[in-house]
Structure 1
């Protein structure tokens, strides 16, 4: 405990937090392009498989995101990197908090949207989620629009997040990226 009664921030991210970060990142980097492609495919087996995978990975992202929030609450996170400017700290914090919200809310929106359309959410063919809402075409349209806009926002923030990490690593030659790599990957 620090002098003001609060627990001091840890020096490093917990190993579980690091792995969850990269697994969720991989899943997000799949669902965003899959979401774009599946809407452009002609009706048929390929489109249906991609929809099923998109939904399944969405459920996986949700479960992992809840776990990640739990790990962050129980293990904490290091303070902002000391090499960041005030503006970079603000942008970083805003981006991270928005991504946390999106990786939890987007799967729930997708599940509700799919329920309103009255399609089952089969998770990797292992089980089917119950419908969250009754069939409702108007609700489907609203949720679909929000889900698409959320996907665009997520894609933009993910691109900015990656660009920021690369900028700090390549241009600034900072160790910021290395803080999130699993220990055996660190320099």
Structure 2
């Protein structure tokens, strides 16, 4: 690293990115768990309980989408701590993060589009959401719901698997860094000063 790069190197993600990270996690994890419970009929289908959990699922998913879009904008404009490891490890970490972002965007969009493809927009707790008529008409005419719902379901399974891998990688990196001066793994997202720039 050059002198200028060292001066502005940070060890933790900026506070706003940390806030976005934990806010997204607080929305995505329950949305996934509820979605899996509904998909695998752990809640009785077409029951008042299923309707209630579906409404929660929709609100959490759309909120997560909003948070992630905002997080992408912030991430593009923020300094980030370097990723330690070999070139392969760095590439794997960046690819996994890209896939996480992509899946968290695809999931709510495919769910919403799948809903309107069958002729109605979701109404969580009676709140009418936009139907986007031209898009809805197009999706209905193409019978897009037949493939959008499987996309939604498989994207949910892929995101669940990727999150398990992500957590395992964070735990591994945290353990490897615990006896060194290097801040890595979970500590990069914990409270504390960002680094040399603060």
TM-score range, shorter chain: 0.7 to 0.9
- The whole-number CA distance in structure 1 between the counterparts of 2:49 and 2:34 is 11
SS of the counterpart of 2:143?
helix
Give the Cα separation in 2 of the matches to 1:160 and 1:33.
16
CA RMSD of aligned residues (A): 2.6
Q: Gaps (5+ residues) in structure 1?
A: none
Is 1:133 the counterpart of 2:136? The answer is yes
- DSSP 3-state at the match of 2:77: helix
Give me the TM-score of the superposition, normalised by structure 2. 0.79
**Match in the other structure for 1:31:** 31
Any idea what the Cα deviations from partners look like across 1:21-74, whole Å, max 9, x if unmatched? 111112111111101112302221100111111111111011000110111112
Q: Which runs of 5+ in 2 are unaligned?
A: 194-198
- The partner residue of 1:175 within 153, 158, 183 is 183
Distance 1:123 1:46, change over 3 A: closer
> Across the two proteins, how many residue pairs are aligned to each other?
178
Asked if the contact 1:52–1:124 (Cα under 8 Å) also holds between the matched residues in 2, the reply is yes
Question: TM-score w.r.t. structure 1 length?
Answer: 0.83
Return the structure number with greater relative CO, CA threshold 8 A, min gap 6.
2
Contact 2:55–2:125 at 8 Å: present in 1 too?
yes
Superposition pairs of residues 1-187 of structure 1, within 5 angstroms = 11=10, 12-39=12-39, 40=41, 41-42=43-44, 43-80=46-83, 82=84, 84-122=85-123, 128-131=129-132, 132-134=135-137, 136=140, 138-173=143-178, 175-176=183-184, 177-183=186-192
Structure 1 consecutive aligned stretches of length 4 or more whose deviation exceeds 6 Å: none
Question: Which of structures 1 and 2 has the bigger CA Rg?
Answer: 2
* Cα pair distance change 1:175/1:36, threshold 3 Å: same
